[in-house]
Amino acid sequence: MIRTSELLSLARLEHTKAQNFAEHLILLITQPTGTRKYRQRKHTRAFHTQISNNGYG
């Protein structure tokens, strides 16, 4: 049987995670698209480099 305090702390943790996620989404939406595009492109390039280094590309 789960104690009430454990349940409360779990709920609090989930709420914090949800709040962080929402703030992240808001940042993504309100950010100028240029910055977002650049960040995506940088990530993609690193990803492809990683793939080719592992011999998949």
Supply the pLDDT for residue 43: 53
Supply the pLDDT for residue 36: 53
**What is the per-residue burial (b if ≥16 Cβ within 10 Å, else e) of 18-50?**
eeeeeeeeeeeeeeeeeeeeeeeeeeeeeeeee
Question: CA-to-CA distance for 7 and 48, rounded, in angstroms?
Answer: 43
Supply the pLDDT for residue 39: 54
Supply the pLDDT for residue 52: 58
Supply the pLDDT for residue 30: 80
Supply the pLDDT for residue 48: 58
Question: CA-to-CA distance for 30 and 6, rounded, in angstroms?
Answer: 36
User: Tokens standing for 56?
Assistant: 């998949």
Q: Where are the domains of the chain?
A: 4-53
Render pLDDT for 1-43 as a digit per residue (tens, 0 to 9): 778 888 888 889 898 999 989 888 888 888 766 555 555 555 5
Distance of alpha carbon 15 from the chain centroid: 16
